[in-house]
Structure 1
Amino acid sequence: MGFSSWYESVAAQEMTAHDRQRHVLELQAAPNPLEAVHSLWIEELTYIEVRDRIRDGHTIAIIPTGGIEQNGPYLVTGKHNVILESLCPAIAKELGDALCAPIVPFVPEGTIDPPSGAMQFSGSISVKDETFHALLDDIASSLKQHGFKDIVFIGDSGGNQRGMRAIADELNVRWQGTGVSAHFIGQFYTPGWDVTMTYTTEVLEVVETRNDGHHDDIWVTAIMMVSDPSSVRYDQRVKADLASINGISIVPMAQTIELGQKMVDFRARYTAVEIRAAIEKK
């Protein structure tokens, strides 16, 4: 049952408008009857847990945008979303006062009819720029309504960057004088991926030796494996003797996951610094 249906059933109990409002206020102020869960994902928390985390100073909300597109023969279409499953909470943990909004999977991927860009491949899902803008606006405005003070946009796909920048600018104009700010952290993507690659090659000494010609690389694959090895078709690739990317073996699994976790930790530290700097500049 959705909230509206539930609330209508409450209202049907011959409650006056005043009674209904009082009931809402009571629910808003209700103590938590359970030990709190400490997930960094808003969607994994109860409304009471979110309320209490905000009261405790978790006033940064990160809105991660991903995508659904073709990513070669090995990686699932939700590649960007899988990457964000590990990266967003790592960034929030590094910040210490942030929570992650649900990943936005629907982003511009090209025109639909006639198809362009990723839409030329099965499984890709695209939305118009105006749809993307409206969705981000509503998500950010919802978070502001609940008491978050800094709304941060990060995106793991190049096609998301322009829209996030535009909506952050629009929100900051609209929110002037409210004490709430929107921040587009373009550095998460560029040079975020580049500095992670440099760290991997120069510090971890993991170097690709060729280009297999796929929309894929060791950085993407290893980070995805932190969240879900099946998202890179690990078992099937081992069976087919295709368990490598650009000259680097992804076997054994544990070793590649460890590599991916080091990349996640590095990029989280890098991004947290950029977010903190943006907030301090407001």
Structure 2
Amino acid sequence: MSERGLAPDPAGQRPIATRDSVWIEELTWMEVRDALASGKKTVIVPTGGVEQNGPYVAAGKHNLILRATAEAIARKLGDALVAPIIPFVPEGQIDPPTSHMRYPSTISLEESTYQALLKDIARSLHAHGFRNVIFIGDSKNNQDGMNIVAKQLDDLWRTSGDRALFVPEYYDWDDRSRWLRARGFQEVDEGIHDELSVESIIMAVDPTAIRLAERQAAGRDSINRVKLAPPDSIAKTGRELVQHIADVTVAAIQRQLQSQR
């Protein structure tokens, strides 16, 4: 048998230095194995979505936001890695289309499909040795499915000391709006499924995803009557908001881990 046909030794020594990343998809299997062995026993499972988001923001807005927030949460926890962002979630009835499915770009899952996907992902991660599986979701329709699956798995795992948790505090839009108002941003809802909390974070991740240059050229570089200028300042606000979300979420995770449901 050729060497290409041999399975690698699960206990083999890693031949290169590890990369500084919390994203499982960016790591080698050896890096994940060694992270587990070093004490990273928590994994965050983030759910986003692909949906219409008004005339200015790319359809993957929730996934873009999670690129910033999930990483900040994992690094603040200190013992966590992040699973790949789940980009497809319930977005409305598919046929006939309802809710976001009435608009091109949206991809929706049936609730049963979504919950089955969450469960299989969590079970896979748990099988590898992650003791705490944490569900967070950056969209409203994600929340119920995560809550249901987390409770089912938590009931199965708690006897061994392992946990599956859903953290609703992560997706608190009122808290995000209050945080912005406390810093002098006064929005007026323009009814286009978009707001400054979204655009400021995405500005810090990828300004092209909110079409900043095109909007500046068209004189449309504002959201809910808040000017997206100067851009560096708005991006700084987005980065600070990411840290606030991380603080709130980590505190909620720690409360749940210490509780007896």
Q: CA offset at residue 55 of structure 1?
A: 1.1
Which residue among 206, 219, 222 is the counterpart of 1:241? 219
What's 2:209 paired with? 231
| One-letter amino acid of the structure 1 residue matched with residue 174 of structure 2 | D
Q: CA offset at residue 176 of structure 1?
A: 4.2
What's 2:191 paired with? 213
- Aligned-partner Cα distance in 2 for 1:248–1:274: 31
2:57 matched to 1:75?
A: yes
What's 2:71 paired with? 89
Equivalent position SS for 1:49:
helix
What's 1:3 paired with? none
Q: CA offset at residue 222 of structure 1?
A: 0.3
- Aligned-partner Cα distance in 1 for 2:241–2:216: 23
| One-letter amino acid of the structure 2 residue matched with residue 206 of structure 1 | F
- Aligned-partner Cα distance in 2 for 1:212–1:177: 49
2:27 matched to 1:40?
A: no
Work out the number of aligned pairs and report it: 259
| One-letter amino acid of the structure 1 residue matched with residue 184 of structure 2 | E
Q: CA offset at residue 196 of structure 1?
A: 2.2
- Aligned-partner Cα distance in 2 for 1:121–1:195: 28
Deviations 1:153-205 (A, max 9, x none): 0001110100000111111223242332100101111xx32222212211x22
What's 1:133 paired with? 115
Which residue among 5, 10, 26 is the counterpart of 2:5? 10
Stretches of structure 2 that go unaligned for 5 or more consecutive residues are none
Q: CA offset at residue 261 of structure 1?
A: 0.4
- Aligned-partner Cα distance in 2 for 1:213–1:64: 27
Q: Under a length normalisation based on structure 2, what TM-score does the superposition of the two structures give?
A: 0.95
RMSD over equivalenced CA pairs, Å = 1.6
2:178 matched to 1:198?
A: yes
Query: Within 5 Å, which residues of 2 pair with 1:1-282?
Result: 10=5, 23-24=7-8, 26=9, 28-189=10-171, 192-202=172-182, 204-208=183-187, 210-282=188-260
- Aligned-partner Cα distance in 1 for 2:230–2:21: 29
- Aligned-partner Cα distance in 2 for 1:53–1:69: 34
Q: Under a length normalisation based on structure 1, what TM-score does the superposition of the two structures give?
A: 0.88
Q: CA offset at residue 206 of structure 1?
A: 1.9
Greater Cα radius of gyration, structure 1 or 2: 1
- What is the percent sequence identity of the aligned residues? 41
Q: CA offset at residue 77 of structure 1?
A: 0.8
Equivalent position SS for 1:175:
helix
Q: CA offset at residue 252 of structure 1?
A: 2.4
- Aligned-partner Cα distance in 2 for 1:158–1:194: 13
- Aligned-partner Cα distance in 1 for 2:159–2:245: 33
What's 1:18 paired with? none
Deviations 1:110-137 (A, max 9, x none): 1111000100000100011111011000
